[in-house]
Amino acid sequence: MKNYILLLLSGFILANDQHPTQTQIDEMLHQTMQVIWEEAMKAKAAIHQITPQVREELLDNLASSAPTDFFVTHADLSDSLTSATNTSASVFISTDNQTTWSENSEVAPINQEGYETTWGATTQTDGADNVHWYLSGSVDSGALGLDFGQITVSQSPYNGSNSWPPLNNLYATIAADVQGDTGSGQDILSIRATYSDNKLYASMDLAGGCCAEGGFFGPWNLYAIAIVNPDATNPVAYAYAYGNGGLGQLYPAIYKIDGDLTTGEIGGFEVLSDNFDYSTSGNSFQATSLLSIITNDSDWGEWPNSFNGVALVGTTVQADISLAIELLDTSDLGVLVMSTQSQTTNTAPILTDLLYENSILSVVYTDAENNLATNHELMVEDMVFIMTPDAHTYSEGVTFSADIGDGGGNVELYFSDGATSVTLQEDLGGGNACQLAGDANADGTVNVIDIVLTTNIILCSDCPDNYNACSDLNGDMMINVLDIVAIVNQILGL
């Protein structure tokens, strides 16, 4: 009976010339893709405006301690990003092979010499020696003179097994949106993403159930996760899109949309491929494909790009044959950086190339796992110096240095990667190498011979070796009559 009524209704529409023409359908699709392209280009423009300020150190030099109870993480950010308002960062850590993650949002500038643009965090863990971690940072675009909400740059867990659909623990939140913009079924709450060696995974999470397709005669809904190469020169957007309407013309696929930034109009669109997996269960539209389907397209641009990642923005659009095209909701902008840090074994760091020159003592710290130095101390007699790094690429070797003044002596360096410690001792000679004060000839006894040797030092002020730490009893780095008096008093027991 239902089919009979539907047939009568269709016949009535056809008889009254209400069936949409192909031209109407094509124009509806054109306008729908226009909306998606515009949002994608806004996202790309926003990235292009922030990258001159943050490109050089955008989540750069990520390093951590070795797996330990108190796990330390560092990342370098540019001055403009660290000084912007509403800037935040979180580090996510897993010690159970990515099954669960703990978030530490207490990531803040270190503000120490050698770490002027470095943000760091210390996270207490269970001490397991298997650790995965990734970093997520967010900045208010308004602080950078933009109007695109919060811009998030985030790494994510690594979906190495190509699990589909990915479990929640394999996703990272790349972009967010406030609730209540539109009806719950089209109201975007967040965009999440993850990656594997050859695939991209994305999820658009909605306030209500996914995904209402629309009526037989419209209006129809389209759910799209736009994908942009921030470095691409061509104004082209790609999208994982889900729809099931438009009289069969609107269907799930990977779409490619090209346009003209001068006119603001799209030139055309096409189905790049329908070879992708998608899910509309629950409250999320999830999609995945071989990343190469997109990156191998001639208009995508260089890959890998400078970010080693993609920009993502979510949109929900409603359309009908009367060309009433409405952007229902759009998410904030997110950039997925396709990398995750992990470590399962640890080797001790190495200290090499000790150098003492012009009062500066330096040493090269190298760690095969790129573990930072949680301790980098130098002890000279009873004084402790904190050594300063000149870079943060620890696997390549970083020079740590400290100004210890003149005089030399016995020094001991103590470094640790958080789990393993190494020390290095050295006698620099000179001022602080004395074992017995007053014993100028180092024979273990202070006597008249030491007075003679000390006197000779005073009388030969031009001699190249006119300093003896054991003769410098008052430690003023000069040998003079005061030291002679002190040695005499020592011999006399005064």
- The string of pLDDT tens digits covering residues 334-380 is 999 999 999 999 999 999 999 988 889 999 999 999 999 999 999 98
d(CA 414, CA 424): 7
Higher pLDDT, 470 or 338: 338
Higher pLDDT, 463 or 221: 221
Neighbour-count burial for 30-54, b at 16+ CB within 10 Å, e otherwise: bebbbbbbbbbbbbbebbeebbebb
What confidence tier does 146 reach under pLDDT thresholds 50, 70, 90?
A: low
Q: Where in the chain is the domain with CATH 2.60.40?
A: 346-427
- Strand 360-366 vs strand 398-403: parallel, antiparallel, or unpaired? antiparallel
Per-residue pLDDT, 204: 98
What confidence tier does 56 reach under pLDDT thresholds 50, 70, 90?
A: very low
Counts for the chain of helices (H) and strands (E), in that order: 6, 29
Phi, psi of 272 (to 5 degrees): -70, -40
Percent of the chain with pLDDT over 90: 52
* Secondary structure class of 418 (helix, strand, coil): coil
CB 458 within 8 A of CB 479: yes
Residues 6+ away with beta carbon under 8 Å from 147: 141
For residues 128-145, average pLDDT: 83
d(CA 91, CA 64): 11
Per-residue pLDDT, 358: 82
CB 473 within 8 A of CB 483: yes
The angle that helices 481-492 and 448-459 make with each other, rounded to 10 degrees, is: 180
Other residues' Cβ atoms within 10 Å of the Cβ of residue 434 = 20
Per-residue pLDDT, 283: 97
Percent of the chain with pLDDT over 70: 87
For residue 46, is pLDDT > 60? yes
What pTM does this model have? 0.80
Per-residue pLDDT, 456: 87
For residue 167, is pLDDT > 70? yes
Judging by beta carbons within 10 Å of its beta carbon (0-12, 13-18, 19+), is residue 452 exposed, middle or buried?
Answer: exposed
Most confident range, picked from 46-60, 389-403, 438-452, 471-485: 389-403
For residues 171-177, average pLDDT: 94
Q: For residue range 6-40, what is the model confidence (pLDDT) as tens digits?
A: 333 333 333 344 556 778 778 888 888 999 989 98
Per-residue pLDDT, 442: 78
What confidence tier does 247 reach under pLDDT thresholds 50, 70, 90?
A: low
For residues 437-460, average pLDDT: 85
For residue 465, is pLDDT > 70? no
Per-residue pLDDT, 145: 64
Q: For residue range 204-221, what is the model confidence (pLDDT) as tens digits?
A: 999 999 998 887 777 889
For residues 302-329, average pLDDT: 89
What's the topology of domain 346-427?
Immunoglobulin-like (2.60.40)
What does the block give as tokens for 351? 């200290």
What confidence tier does 246 reach under pLDDT thresholds 50, 70, 90?
A: low
For residues 280-295, average pLDDT: 97
Give the distance, in angstroms, between the CA of residue 159 and the centroid of all CA atoms in the same chain: 18
